[in-house]
Structure formats: structure tokens, C-alpha cells
Structure 1
Amino acid sequence: MRQVKIESSSGVALLSYTISTPKANDAETIDPSLPTIILLHPVYVSQHIFHYQFASPDLRRFNLIAVDMRSHGNTICTTPSTYRAAQAADDVFCFMDALDLPPCHLFGVSLGACIALEMAVTRPERALSLFLLSPLSLTEPDFVAAGRQEIYDCWTAAYKNPNNVDEDAAVEAVLGAVQLGFGESSRSSFCNSIVQHALMCSPHLWSRAQFDEMHTVSVKFFLDRHPYPVSSLRKITCPVHLVHCSEDVAYSLEMTEEMCAHMKTAGIDVRLSQIANAPQIGCATHPEPCVVDYLLYCPRPEFWSFCSGSTSFSSNGWCPLLATTPQYRPLRRPLRRLSKPSSSSAGSHKRSRTRKTTTY
């Protein structure tokens, strides 16, 4: 995995990233003749979450770039307490400058979707399109905020004494994060390997010395935000595709519809789709619908294979039996319905199964 040094408003960072082109899994530079997609990961996990996107013959016809944000993956840095969407977007702009990237298409998941949206608002000339999977609601629901704080509290309780780790508290923290991101899909070997990989990175990311940084990226980042005013959204000049995952336990379809309506008020070219039976991190469980379909005019590459990240996944228990089949497309796994927040905790945002929204 490659690294590049940046210096942004949040300080110096050595960002870990991967570039793939139609002809190379691990390329040094992009192919300037092709569109470029930057993939921005959600909280707790790193760029490895996009393994299936790098393995897709539909997406591998483009330049694909995934990057580990601050306090995630193999990126080396400190994270200031002021780190929010604006600072994260500035990191990505500096990353684009460091690699001399042209304007890009942005593919963001949850936290990554928040960063992508901020980029399109602050520097619209750098964003060609937004594909926002499981975007955050306009404001953080109280029950989700409480859940994020509880995950943090369990983690810090577990590791406050590194010589005597509280295993029960550690398990509670991990289970909370897994339930938020994957729900019942966490039972698959692939999702389990993602979790194991994240835990391998956690000692140098969220040890006792980094508790404050963990709280910044996993709690403060989500709570300290407000809806964009219409005047700010009007700065967005690219098309936006909002994609809701039906089994997202944090953000309901109604919340995403509210965001869509807010964007339409600002005159944005926006549409909304839903992936049935998918958890919040649907790109890892239902990769087939996660395609930036308005870019598919490019021909498929003659040869493609899984990106190099599969090695670390295999070492963590994933067995990709069909990985050598050139036209293999991951099968969808049926998911059992997750328990939803009670009406008292979810407020007015109750789920509805009768919405006329595009469903894959």
C-alpha cells in the first residue's frame, strides 16, 4: 500500500492509499484518459471495505482510488479535536493535489458520504459527481448519538489499562460497531475478515494515548454538524445519487428522503435509490448495485483481478473460492430483518415500506 505526505489545515499526515487502473491492481499513477473515482470509507474501517468495488469489472474500467482517512487504516498522523467534515474535505483536496489528480467522481459511504458532500459544497469544481451510500441524516438522531458514545465508552473502558484489558468491554465495543455497520451480514466470512483487519490496526490508532482522537472521529464528527443552508447547497454543480440501504439501523429511508428534498429545493440534480436487504455498509455485502452507472460508457478492461487487499482478508478468515473466475460477481446474501429503534427513540423518523423509491 502506498503513502503520500500532505499538510492540510489539520496538520501533517502520511495518507495510505491505493490506485487501481484497468491494467494494474496497484498502480503508481492514474490513466489520464479515464475518469477517476475516489472512494471514501465509513468510520471504524478503512479502504479495505471497497474490496468488491476494486474487483468489479464495471468499476475497474476507471481509475479507482481509495484512501485511509485520519485515525483509520495505515494512515500515520495525529487528529486534532477540531477535525470535522470541513477539515476532512481539506485533507482529500490536499491528497488530490499531492497526486496531481484532476476533478474526480466521489463515492462515499456514511462518514465518507459526509466528506464527499462537503467537498462538493466547498470546491465544486473538484467534484464531477457524488455517489453517496448510506448518507448521514441532516442532523444526528439522539439514539444514534447515544450508540456512538456507548461504543467509545466500552472501548476506552476496555483499554484504559493496556496491561489488563477488559475483554467483555472490548467485545461490547466491537459488537456495537459491527451491528451499526453490518447488522446480520457480519456473519459472513468476508465481513468478519474486515472486522479482524480493523482490529489489527486499532492498537496504533486507538490506544489509550489516542482516546481523544478516537472520540473526535467516531463521536464528535457526527454530532457537531448542521444541515447545509440552501445557499450552500446551490454551489453544488454535479449530479448527486443518494443510495439508502434498507437495513440501515441508524438512518431511515425517511431521513434520506428528507435530504433529497432539501437538495431539490437547492436545484441540485439529485436522485434517490434504495438497496434492499443491505446494511449501512452495503458496498461490502451488496456490491452489484454500488455502481456509478452514469460512467459506464467506458469499455470493460480485457483483464482484471482482485486487488492486493485480498491477501490480508484471507489471512483473517475469508475464503474467496471463486476469486479466480474472471467474470465472477459476488452473490447477494439473504439477510434476516434487524430490530429497529422503537418509535420513542427514533422520534418521527419511522420506517415505511411503501415508499415509491427505486429499489435494486
Structure 2
Amino acid sequence: MPFVDLHSGDDYASIYYITNTPLGNVGGFDPKKPTIIMLHPTYMDSKWLDNQFGDPRLDKNYNLIAFDMRVSGDSTCRPNGKHDSWVEAADLAFCHMSLELPPCHVLACESISVNCALRFAILFPDMCLSLTLINVPAPTELGWVFTALDEVTQALCYAEDLESFEHAAMEAVRFTVGSDCDTDLQDDLIAYWEVNMAPTRRVRAVEQMNVIMNRVPLKPYMLKHITQPVLIIQGERNETCPVKFAERLVADLVNAKNGAVLYTVKGGTGALSIIPGTASIANQVFAKFVSRFKYDDVNMEPVSIPTEERMAEALAKLSELMADSSITSRNPMSSLSFSCLSADAVKGQTESLALYRKGQSTAFTPVGPDGVPIRRFSERKKEHWFQGERDGISYAGASFLPLKLGKHDLEHEKQLPLPVSDPISTDVQQGRLRRATISPSSIDKQVIKGSMAKVVGSNSNPASLQRLLNK
């Protein structure tokens, strides 16, 4: 399989990638065609870009390449508390230069990829022809999304049985894709998470969660450095990434060539790129956007500057943006040198990684000995009379009710609206890092043994108990 190995004194990562060439590597690229870099959605990998790789509007006219981020899919890395979206952008630049790619169009899907792509365009404009962002998130996560991600990720990481894992995964489907997720897609997502986000791999899961939830928002003066053409494709009904934040980003991209463009997908909810219907719409808009690009205006040759020199230039630019002169003295050949997290955030993330690593090797795994999920979520047995349904509410089974009440009418299909909240503050982020030092498995569970009389006698007032018995 094709990998790009990134190694330095303090870091190691092996980045997996796929292409649309017969042999799956960049050697088969047509030099006459422009190249598109695709970045996968959050908590997924490049395999979830089939709707883009299988679209002839893109496959026939462009060289396509997609990378698994360092804690996703088939990529591997050494866990590190310094990991943030600036590190992801540096990874992408190292891969770009290692594979000697020409300047590329970048298509970023959902939160983690959008944050990486924006930083990549700021630091490495010579590698980025244009920027297309699908579902722009808030600068920091909305309050309810922050809480939901935190709780669901912890529930997945510390699930002790298949039902607990599936319940947490179903909650993740709701705010990742939407309440009306197709059954087959729901099964595929949960099966993927059972393999890639199992409790036995929870360090990777929590590291990716840290990147998303502890991100430092980009300031307007930083966004002014983006001069490439920008297209934003936003779901009209996306509750985790409301349209207003895409509109705000359009307003902040004052130097984008010809002005940033916002396209709203009518009825679109979450994860536009993996739902076949909305993915086709997004692909069409993206294909039209990049087809209008004028290649005569730019140098289409790969970056000719030595890698160390080019990365040193990027560090100098980052130092200027962050107003931190110490950044320029860091090792330019390490992606971790681009981290912009505070010392407290790095400490908190390092401690959380160490905590989640405890007991990981002996944790529950939701897959069989062959590494394949034991069952499809939709095929689970519904033997209990009180079942949790798609809207998150439980209903009594039909066999316990009169016939006229046993059938769920249109009211059953109505979905509860998700809560509305504002982006979180830095104080909330730091509070979560402090809470991460305690895991569910670290709580002592006291069990009182002995006869009932002894238990009652040790926990009750004898006089009051005698009065109760005499009544």
C-alpha cells in the first residue's frame, strides 16, 4: 500500500493515501490533468470518498489523491499531545513535496478537514490552487456539539459490551449525518467505527477528538492571507454546522480571488459528501467551480525549493501570525513544530492520551476473531419490550398495546430538534482537558456484602427502623 513516511527526532507518522490511478500511486498521474487533493470527513478515512472517486465528472478530468490523516484509517503515528490542525496542515505539505505533486485544488469535507485545509492554504499558498470547503464548522464547537462529542467519544472508548458500543455509535450517527440517516449508511458507519474506534484503539479516537475540540480559532487577520479562489458548500439544515458560520467565513475571506462563494444545498443536513444524493450535488458544484480555473496564471510545476528550506519559510510565517518568535527556532522537518497549542493544552492532551492508554490492550472489542463486526446494527435482535427508536425516544412495543395504538403514525417519525447554542470559550476547552484526567474506569465502585439485616443495620438509624417495623 502507498504511504508517505514522516520522521524526525520527536515525531513519526506514516501517512496512507489513495489515488484514481490503476496502480493506486502518483506514478500513474496524467501530467496534462490538474490534481485534486481530497481530505476525508471527521472520524472517517479516505475510503469514505467513494462518492467523489466514483464520479466521472472528477475521475475522468482530474488526477485524484486522498490522504488518511495521521490518526485515521490506515495511517499510523506516535501519539502526541502537541497534535492540532496546524500539524495536520504540515503533514499535508510534507506529503505534497515528498510525492512531488504540482499545485493542487483542495477539497475538504467536514470539520477536521476544513480546519486543516484553511491552515494549509495560509502557510503553503504555492501548493494550493483553490479551496473548496464542505460544511464549515463554527470557529470553536457549538456548546451542545462539544458536550455530545465528549460524551459519545468517551462512551465508545469505554464500552464494555456490544449493546453499549452500538448505542453510543448510534448517537454519533445522529449528529454526524443527521436523524434521517439511511439504514444502510447507518450500518456501514457503525461497522466502520467498530473496527476503527473500538476501545482497543481508543488512544487514536481521543487524539482525533482533541484536534477537533481543542482547536484554536483562526483570527480574521490570518484569513486575509488566503488569496486562492474559495468555494464553500453548506448544508441548509446542518444543525452542527449552521449556515451562519459559513456566511461569516465568506465575509472574513476578504482577499480570496473574486470573492469567496457560498453554495447552500437545499435540505442538506450533515456529512454531505457521504450521502449519495447530496454528494452528487456537491460534486457537480465543485466540478463546475474548478473547471473555470485559469492555469495560465500560475506555475504548475512541483515545488522546487528543498523541503527543509520551504518548511522553515512556513515556520517563519507561522511565527509572524502567532506573534511568537520562538516558533522560528523549531525543527522545520517535524510536523509537531507547527503546533500552536498552549503549554496547558499540550499538557492536558498528553495526560488524556496517557489515561486512555491504560487498559487499552485488554479492553472490549466489538469485532470477532477475524476482525469483522459480529453483526449489522439493523439486524440486531429486538427482544426487549421497550426499544429506543431513531428519534432517541423509547416506545412500548405493539404486542403490549391495543392494535390501534400499536402502529406508530407520523408523530413517531417526527424528530426532536437539536439544541441551539453558541461556540464554546477557551475556558470550557480547558475545563474539558482537566476533566479528562478522570476516566470511568477510575471510579471506585463499593460493593457491600453480607445479609440484608447487617446491611440495613449499618446504614440506618436503629430507632427509626424499629418504628417502621412496629407499624
Asked if residue 290 in structure 1 is aligned to residue 282 in structure 2, the reply is: yes
Distance 1:90 1:337 in 2: 44
Q: Deviation of residue 265 (structure 1)?
A: 7.7
Please tell me whether the aligned partners of residues 47 and 67 of structure 1 are also in contact (alpha carbons under 8 angstroms). yes
Q: Deviation of residue 59 (structure 1)?
A: 0.7
Indicate which of 193, 202, 208 corresponds to 1:211: 202
After TM superposition, the structure 1 = structure 2 runs for residues 340-351 of structure 1, keeping only pairs within 5 Å, are: 340-343=417-420, 345=421
Distance 2:139 2:67 in 1: 25
TM-score (norm 1): 0.75
Q: Deviation of residue 346 (structure 1)?
A: 5.1
Q: Which amino acid aligns with 2:237?
A: E
Q: Deviation of residue 266 (structure 1)?
A: 7.7
Distance 2:147 2:245 in 1: 18
Indicate which of 24, 29, 43 corresponds to 1:26: 24
Q: 1:115 to 1:347 in 2, by over 3 A?
A: closer
Distance 1:297 1:261 in 2: 22
DSSP-derived class of the 1:284 partner: coil
Please tell me whether the aligned partners of residues 14 and 75 of structure 2 are also in contact (alpha carbons under 8 angstroms). yes
Q: Percent same amino acid at aligned positions?
A: 22
Aligned to 2:178: 183
DSSP-derived class of the 1:221 partner: helix
Please tell me whether the aligned partners of residues 47 and 68 of structure 1 are also in contact (alpha carbons under 8 angstroms). yes
Q: Which amino acid aligns with 1:65?
A: I
Distance 2:120 2:148 in 1: 27
Q: Deviation of residue 187 (structure 1)?
A: 2.2
Q: 1:237 to 1:262 in 2, by over 3 A?
A: closer
Distance 2:42 2:247 in 1: 23
Indicate which of 228, 231, 240 corresponds to 1:250: 240
Q: 1:185 to 1:67 in 2, by over 3 A?
A: farther
Please tell me whether the aligned partners of residues 157 and 166 of structure 1 are also in contact (alpha carbons under 8 angstroms). no
Q: 1:337 to 1:46 in 2, by over 3 A?
A: farther
Please tell me whether the aligned partners of residues 105 and 290 of structure 2 are also in contact (alpha carbons under 8 angstroms). no
Bigger relative contact order, structure 1 or 2, given CA contacts below 8 A and separation 6+?
1
DSSP-derived class of the 2:181 partner: helix
Distance 1:258 1:297 in 2: 25
Distance 2:240 2:66 in 1: 24
Distance 2:414 2:127 in 1: 39
After superposition, the C-alpha distances for 1:106-127 in whole angstroms (9 at most, x for unaligned) are: 1111211111111011111111
Q: Deviation of residue 194 (structure 1)?
A: 4.1
Aligned to 2:43: 44
Q: Deviation of residue 267 (structure 1)?
A: 7.9
Q: Deviation of residue 9 (structure 1)?
A: 9.2
Asked if residue 200 in structure 1 is aligned to residue 195 in structure 2, the reply is: yes
After superposition, the C-alpha distances for 1:36-87 in whole angstroms (9 at most, x for unaligned) are: 1111112211111110101111111101111111221111222312111100
Aligned to 1:83: 83
Aligned to 1:154: 155
Please tell me whether the aligned partners of residues 141 and 423 of structure 2 are also in contact (alpha carbons under 8 angstroms). no
DSSP-derived class of the 1:176 partner: helix
Please tell me whether the aligned partners of residues 135 and 242 of structure 1 are also in contact (alpha carbons under 8 angstroms). yes
After superposition, the C-alpha distances for 1:153-185 in whole angstroms (9 at most, x for unaligned) are: 211221xxxxxx333331232112211221145
DSSP-derived class of the 1:273 partner: strand
Aligned to 2:133: 132
After TM superposition, the structure 1 = structure 2 runs for residues 274-285 of structure 1, keeping only pairs within 5 Å, are: 274-285=264-275
CA RMSD of aligned residues (A): 2.8
Q: 1:62 to 1:337 in 2, by over 3 A?
A: farther
TM-score (norm 2): 0.58
5+ residue gaps, structure 2? 294-374, 377-412, 425-471
Please tell me whether the aligned partners of residues 36 and 65 of structure 1 are also in contact (alpha carbons under 8 angstroms). yes
Q: Deviation of residue 338 (structure 1)?
A: 5.4
The 10-residue stretch of structure 1 (99-108 or 72-81) with the greater mean CA deviation from structure 2: 72-81
Q: 1:92 to 1:9 in 2, by over 3 A?
A: farther
Please tell me whether the aligned partners of residues 227 and 256 of structure 2 are also in contact (alpha carbons under 8 angstroms). no
Please tell me whether the aligned partners of residues 36 and 106 of structure 2 are also in contact (alpha carbons under 8 angstroms). yes
Q: Deviation of residue 262 (structure 1)?
A: 1.9
Distance 1:249 1:84 in 2: 24
Distance 1:89 1:214 in 2: 19
Q: Which amino acid aligns with 1:51?
A: D
Q: Deviation of residue 105 (structure 1)?
A: 0.8
Aligned to 2:259: 269
Q: Deviation of residue 26 (structure 1)?
A: 3.0
Aligned to 2:94: 94
Q: Which amino acid aligns with 2:165?
A: A
Please tell me whether the aligned partners of residues 131 and 241 of structure 1 are also in contact (alpha carbons under 8 angstroms). yes
After TM superposition, the structure 1 = structure 2 runs for residues 103-142 of structure 1, keeping only pairs within 5 Å, are: 103-110=103-110, 111-142=112-143
Q: Deviation of residue 133 (structure 1)?
A: 0.2
Aligned to 2:334: none
Please tell me whether the aligned partners of residues 134 and 244 of structure 1 are also in contact (alpha carbons under 8 angstroms). yes
After superposition, the C-alpha distances for 1:86-137 in whole angstroms (9 at most, x for unaligned) are: 0011111111122111111111112111111110111111111111001121
After superposition, the C-alpha distances for 1:210-266 in whole angstroms (9 at most, x for unaligned) are: 534422211x22232333223221211201111111232311111221222222388
Q: Deviation of residue 28 (structure 1)?
A: 4.2
Q: 1:189 to 1:125 in 2, by over 3 A?
A: same
